[in-house]
C-alpha cells in the first residue's frame, strides 16, 4: 500500500510532533511513502526560507531512503479542470492518485483535497489524525491508545495544521476497505 503524502502532512508528521518521528513509526508498517516532486520542492523551499519552522535533519533522514520522490514530469492532464481548486503540491498529489488508482491513498490534512477527491472521483483521503489511529490499530504493541492521544495533543499544541480534528474519535475503528 502506498501513502501519498503532501506538504501539510510532512509538516505535521515531521515538524509538529517533536517527541516521536511519525515517519519512523510509519516505516515500520507495510506502507510505501511517496511524495511528488512539487511537494518535495515545496518542503525544500520551506527549509531554505523558514529554517526555524521546518525540521531539516528529520526530512533529510527520510528522503529518499524512506520517502520516495515521484517524477511528475509526464503526468497526464485529463482531469485537471476538476482539480482547479487545488494548487501545486496538493494538485500534483491528486493527479498522482488519479494516475495510480487502487492501493494508493492520499494522506493530507487539506480539506479541499478531501472534498474534491470525494465529490469528483469518489476517492477517500486520509487525515493525519487517521494515520495515528492506523498506527494504533495495526500494531497495538507499538503504540497504545494513550500514546496516540498524547501524540495527537502534542501535534495540536505545536500548531497542527488540520481540520475537524475535534471530530476525530481516536477510539473509532478505521476501515481500510473504504479506500478501494
CB 152 within 8 A of CB 2: no
The verdict on 80 binding other proteins (CB under 8 A) reads yes
Q: Which is nearer to other proteins, 69 or 161 (CB)?
A: 161
Q: Least distance (Å) from other proteins to the CB of residue 137? A: 26
The verdict on 75 binding other proteins (CB under 8 A) reads yes
Q: Least distance (Å) from other proteins to the CB of residue 102? A: 20
DSSP class of residue 87 equals -
Rounded CA-CA distance 76/171 in Å is 39
Cis peptide, bond prior to residue 64, ω within 30 of zero: yes
Query: How many other CB atoms are there within 10 angstroms of residue 79's CB atom?
Result: 14
Q: Which is nearer to other proteins, 53 or 60 (CB)?
A: 53
Rounded CA-CA distance 106/86 in Å is 14
**Pattern 81-120, other proteins, x by CB under 8 A:** x--xxxxxxxxx--x-------------xxxxxxx-----
**Pattern 16-55, other proteins, x by CB under 8 A:** --------------------------x--xx--xx--xx-
CB 15 within 8 A of CB 53: yes
What the block records as the C-alpha cell of 57 is 535533519
Binding site for other proteins (CB under 8 A): 7-8, 11, 42, 45-46, 49-50, 53-54, 72-77, 80-81, 84-92, 95, 109-115, 159, 161, 163
Amino acid at each position: 500500500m502506498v501513502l501519498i503524502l503532501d506538504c501539510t502532512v510532512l509538516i505535521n508528521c515531521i515538524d509538529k510532533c517533536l517527541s516521536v518521528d511519525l515517519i519512523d513509526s510509519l516505516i515500520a508498517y507495510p506502507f510505501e511513502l511517496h511524495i511528488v516532486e512539487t511537494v518535495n520542492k515545496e518542503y525544500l523551499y520551506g527549509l531554505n526560507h523558514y529554517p526555524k519552522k521546518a525540521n531539516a535533519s528529520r526530512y533529510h533522514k527520510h528522503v529518499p531512503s524512506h520517502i520516495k520522490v515521484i517524477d511528475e514530469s509526464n503526468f497526464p492532464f485529463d482531469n485537471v479542470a476538476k482539480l482547479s481548486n487545488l494548487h501545486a503540491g496538493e494538485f500534483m498529489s491528486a493527479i498522482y492518485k488519479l494516475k495510480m488508482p487502487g492501493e494508493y491513498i492520499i494522506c493530507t490534512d487539506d480539506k479541499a483535497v478531501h472534498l474534491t477527491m470525494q465529490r469528483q472521483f469518489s476517492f477517500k483521503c486520509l487525515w493525519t489524525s487517521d494515520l495515528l489511529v492506523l498506527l494504533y490499530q495495526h500494531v497495538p504493541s507499538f503504540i497504545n491508545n494513550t500514546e496516540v492521544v498524547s501524540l495527537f495533543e502534542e501535534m495540536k499544541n505545536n500548531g497542527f495544521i488540520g481540520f475537524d480534528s475535534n471530530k476525530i474519535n481516536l477510539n473509532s475503528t478505521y476501515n481500510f476497505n473504504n479506500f478501494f
